[in-house]
Amino acid sequence: MRPRTGNTDRGQAHTVEAFIAALLLVSGLLFAMQATAVTPLSASTSNQHIENQQRALTSDLLSTAAEDGSLQEAVLYWNTSQAGFENSSEGGDYTDAGSQNAFLTRLDETLSDRRIAYDVEVRFHNTTGTPSVDSISMVDMGRPSDNAVTASRTLTLGDSATLTGSDDRSLSTVAADPDASFYAPDADPASDLLYNRLEVRITTWRM
């Protein structure tokens, strides 16, 4: 008996076609979504714009802070007895946006208001033994996203630079006091002029 060529013998073919069609549609959608920033954290070409803007913003912010002295004030806002930044958490760094000094206030007003999270790290030279570059966290708001950008600025500290926290002694005086400590050692102990060079590095990302 010849099999019927009616409606009932094409189920498998239809299923396979439906799968292929769905696959194509979903692939197209995924590709389209990849090209645009569907969410602030999703990676895409348009995120480059946001990254560029954030980098420029942070870089300009660092430049102005270095120019008016608030950056130096912030890196010297150190509590020598507690071995941490003044008014910071137990870990010695700030874990939230705050206004403890002019630089942090500016970061808070510029970045937090734009829903941008940031980490601030300070790198310094350690010339004792094998020269190396060590770092300390000033602000730690968490782990940056894949679209995080960084900007940095270097500043030079002299031996006569004074701390800006509750202890207002000079760096050379603090270095000579066994009961007090500053995070960066004297990178040029032979001279009374140069103390160290610090690189302030800000990592920003959208929340």
Partner 1 sequence: MADVSPDSDSPTDRGQLLLVTALALAVLLVTVALLLNTAIFTENVATRETTADGRAAIELRGEAVTAVDDLIETENRVGGGDPGDVESAVDAMGPLVDRERARHGTIGNLSRNGSATPGRLLRWTNPDTARPFDDPGASWRLVDSLAESRAFTVELTDVRSLTDPSGTVIENQAFGVRFVNDTAGNRTLYLYEDGGRLIVERATETTPPSQQCAIDAGSGTMTVDLSGDRLSTTETTVDCYRGLWPDDSPDAIEFRNGDAADGTFSLTVDDGAVPIADPDVRDDPAVYAVTVDISYTSQDLAFETTVRVAPGEPR
> Among residues 88 and 203, whose Cβ is nearest to partner 1?
203
Q: Which amino acid is at 128?
A: T
Write the CA distances from 181 to 61, 136, 164, integer angstroms.
Answer: 29, 14, 14
Please choose, out of 24-32, 73-81, 87-95, 110-118, the segment that lies near partner 1 by the rule CB under 8 A: 24-32
Q: Interface mask (CB under 8 A) for partner 1, residues 117-136, using x and -?
A: ------x-x-----x-x---
Q: Interface mask (CB under 8 A) for partner 1, residues 27-56, using x and -?
A: xxx-xx-xxx--------xx-xx--x----
Paired residues of 162 in beta bridges? 170
Q: Is there a contact between 22 and 178 (Cβ–Cβ < 8 Å)?
A: no
Instruction: For residue 151, give the H/E element and its range.
Output: strand 149-158
Q: How far is the C-alpha of 154 from the C-alpha of 125, rounded, in Å?
A: 12
Site of interaction with partner 1 (CB under 8 A):
5-7, 10, 13-14, 17-18, 20-22, 24-25, 27-29, 31-32, 34-36, 45-46, 48-49, 52, 59, 66, 123, 125, 131, 133, 153-156, 158, 160, 187-188, 190-194, 196-197, 199
